[in-house]
Structure formats: C-alpha cells, structure tokens
Amino acid sequence: MIVLVANESVTGESRVAATPETVKKMVEAGLEIRVEAGAGEAAYFSDAEFSEAGATVEPASTAGRQAADVLLKVGPLGELPDLGAEAALLKQGAVVIGFLDPFGHLETVSALAAGSVSALPVEFVPRITRAQSMDALSSQASIAGYKAVLLAAGRLPRYFPLLMTAAGTIRPARVVVMGAGVAGLQAIATARRLGALVEVSDIRPAVKEQIESLGGRFIELPDMETGEGAGGYAKEMGEDFLRRQREILTEHVAAANVVITTAAVPGKPAPRLMSADMVRRMRPGGVIVDIAAERGGNCELTRPDEEVVEAGVIILGPTNVAGSMPTDASAMYARNVLELLKEIVDEEGALHIDTDNDVVGPTLLTHGGEVVHQAVAGRLEEAKH
C-alpha cells in the first residue's frame, strides 16, 4: 500500500503530515512511504532524513498523486501549481487524511464524493478516550495557546511577573483568557508560569476545577443554559446569553493588560465575545491575541493576520498559530495521523475501512461515492437552495 506524504497547497503552511519518526514506523508496518520533495523543509525535516527513515523522496507529480492509496496532508485540499485541483488527482478508492475544513470547502467535499475518495478530516475525530492519541485538534490547540501568550508578552510594554526590586515593586500583569478548551488551558498555564494573574471565562461550568488547578480564577457567568456540547466541545449559545456574558466580562477586561481569546464552536463562526466598546475600555498599552481569528474572531475588531490598534490597544489576529512552531507542531500532528492511519490498515498492511469502527465511522466525511457525514451533507443541501 502506497502512502504519500504531500506538499501543502495552502500558502504559508509550514507543517508536514509525517516526520522521519513516523515514516520509520509506517515502513516497519509494511507500508510503502513516498514523500514529495521538500515537504518537510519548512518544518526543518530534510529530504535526506526522510530517505534515511525508509521513504522514497520524489518530485510532486500527477502520476505520484494518482498512485497513492493514502494521501497524508496538513491543510485542506486546494490547487497545486502545474498539477491542478488536488481532489481531482486522487484515484478512486483512495483515502485522504488531514485538516480538510469540510464546512469551508464544500465544493471539494462534492469532488471527493464524486471521485469515490474516502476522506478522514482529523477535526472530526471523536473525543473519546480511545481516540486521544489521534486528537489533532487538541495537539495543535495546545501549541496555539502557548504561542498566544508569548505573542502577547512580546508586545506588552510591561513585565508579566511580580518583581520586587531596589527601584520599587512591579505589579504582575493581569491576563483574561476567554475559552478554557485545550488552547485556553495551555494559555493559562503559560501565563501563570510567566507570573501573571489570570482570570478565565468559559461557558462550561465543568471546566472550573481545571482552571483553578492551573492557578487561574474562574469568572462566574449568567446562571442560564450550560454551554457543554457534544464530545466536550462548547456549543453555540443564544444571543441573550452572549449579551449578558459580555456585560460581566467588560469589568474584568477593563482591568486587564492582556486578553487571550480562544473560544470556538466546531463548524460554526467564532462566537463574538468582545465588542469594540470593551476594547476601548481596556488600558492603553493592552494587548489582545485572538486565536479564533481564522473563524472570524472572538473580538469585533479582529482582522485575520493583521495588527489593529484601537484606543491604544493592540489587537493581534494570527491564523495558523500552530504553524509558527512547525517542528513540534508537525511532530505532534504526525503522531496523531499515524494512530489514525493504523485504524484503517489491517494486519497484512492492506487498506480496510470499517464504518462500524468507533473512531473511523464518526470521522468519515466521504466514502463509497457519498457524503456520509450528516452535518456536512446537510450543509451541502442548504447550499443547493
């Protein structure tokens, strides 16, 4: 079975879907691994390292793509220079694994179904105990939460920690983290290590204990509906709840030096947690890092991949934050992909997709010429009308 580690079609994507470590393990499992030349360069994995691990390094080509039984990617399928649309290059019955962003690429989903390609978007991996090693959303979010705090510290015109010096006492920075998922929890831990005082807002009361265990203080929100969604994710909340949440958060934000926003709902635009008025109430010199920028942002004034200054407050809206640390991000992602790949390869090293498998079934997007993921199929029907 041929597994192809592909170059990325998304401009600026620096991660790679396999590393020499995971290639070696795949080769030991009896798989034939091919790596497109230069696929790992931006993550500092050389072609020579992939060759030493047992892979065949080859130039990207139409024939190479069409020969692959499994295509491993990081970002969604797109257009490749000189090769055209990636989805059209895959052979019938092939499998593609990656962050495929189905809701944002409905035309690609249709093309994959039409080509009888089985697609496994890693963002659909269920949050069950057995699948923790395959949870790419969490592995990449942990990097994003860490880096968000470093970005804020690099732009804040003051120290993070409490310092008592001969020149006087420096008070610790006050940080508000919005969203206590994996990214938020990592942001809390990182800000606390740097010595900041950290307050945290989340719509799921169940995360209060986790927040406090990391040294953060939980901001109590309206005693209304719970924000706990399926699989431990946050769900989309009503406008009345969001309005009351903003009212409570305004006083905490006004006293903050840094705000890190991480709130996201799978398949939905990022919830709007910070209004322009809330930004203007922050202290001049404050910094907002909105890592939900790729989904529209949690802050009203966020602009993806731009720096906005409003009333002396710097607003950063980085996208693909994990990609800014490509070596470790790739290492973690590649391990997630390897574990997912094991679920569709039998003991003889042949492809076997079991739709009753408790990981594979919920993850499948397209299979057997159909869109089998109900939510995406529903979105496609909506788009037709």
Q: Are 200 and 101 part of one and the same domain?
A: no
Q: Are 156 and 79 part of one and the same domain?
A: no
Per-residue pLDDT tens over the stretch 178-195: 999 999 999 999 999 999
Residue tagged active-site, from 47, 51, 110, 127: 127
pLDDT score at 227:
46
DSSP SS3 for 313: strand
Q: Is residue 130 part of a domain?
A: no
Maximum Cα–Cα distance across the chain: 72
**How would DSSP label each residue in 222-271?**
-SSS--B-GGG-B-PPPHHHHHHHHHHHHHHHHT-SEEEE----TTSPPP
Q: Is residue 369 part of a domain?
A: yes
Residue tagged active-site, from 9, 14, 118, 138: 138
Count of domains observed in the chain: 2
Q: Is residue 334 part of a domain?
A: yes
Q: Are 310 and 335 part of one and the same domain?
A: no
Q: Are 177 and 238 part of one and the same domain?
A: yes
| Residue 138 annotated among the catalytic residues of the structure | yes
Residue tagged active-site, from 110, 193, 233, 303: 233
Q: Are 114 and 159 part of one and the same domain?
A: no
Q: Is residue 150 part of a domain?
A: yes
| Residue 324 annotated among the catalytic residues of the structure | no
Q: Are 54 and 146 part of one and the same domain?
A: no
pLDDT values of the chain reduced to their tens digit, one per residue, 385 residues: 999 999 999 989 999 999 999 999 999 999 999 999 999 999 999 999 999 999 999 999 999 999 999 999 999 999 888 788 999 999 999 999 999 999 999 999 999 999 999 999 999 999 999 999 999 999 999 999 999 999 999 999 999 999 999 999 999 999 999 999 999 999 999 999 999 999 999 888 889 999 999 999 999 876 655 545 455 445 456 677 777 877 888 999 999 999 999 988 877 889 898 999 999 999 999 999 999 998 899 999 999 999 999 999 999 999 999 999 999 999 999 999 999 999 999 988 899 999 999 999 999 999 999 999 999 999 998 888 7
Q: Measure CA of the first residue to CA of the last residue in the chain; give whole Å.
A: 41
pLDDT score at 175:
98
Residue tagged active-site, from 101, 135, 202, 290: 135
85 CB-near residues (< 8 Å, 6+ apart): 77, 78, 79, 111
Q: Is residue 133 part of a domain?
A: no
| Residue 9 annotated among the catalytic residues of the structure | no
Domain boundary among 320, 342, 374: 320
Domain boundary among 271, 293, 320: 320
Q: Are 151 and 78 part of one and the same domain?
A: no
Q: Are 172 and 222 part of one and the same domain?
A: yes
Domain boundary among 272, 305, 320: 320
Range of the domain at 341: 2-124+326-384
Distance of CA 136 to the CA centre of its chain: 7
Q: Is residue 148 part of a domain?
A: yes
Q: Are 154 and 281 part of one and the same domain?
A: yes
Q: Is residue 129 part of a domain?
A: no
Q: Is residue 132 part of a domain?
A: no
| Residue 132 annotated among the catalytic residues of the structure | yes
Residue tagged active-site, from 132, 243, 354, 358: 132
Q: How far apart are CA 304 and CA 195, in angstroms?
A: 29
CATH number, domain at 285? 3.40.50.720
Q: Are 9 and 143 part of one and the same domain?
A: no
56 strand-pairing partners: 34
| Residue 127 annotated among the catalytic residues of the structure | yes
pTM of the model: 0.90
Q: Are 345 and 202 part of one and the same domain?
A: no
Q: Are 342 and 312 part of one and the same domain?
A: no
The DSSP 8-state label assigned to residue 345 in this structure reads: B
Which residue, 21, 119, 116, 132, is CA-closest to 73? 119
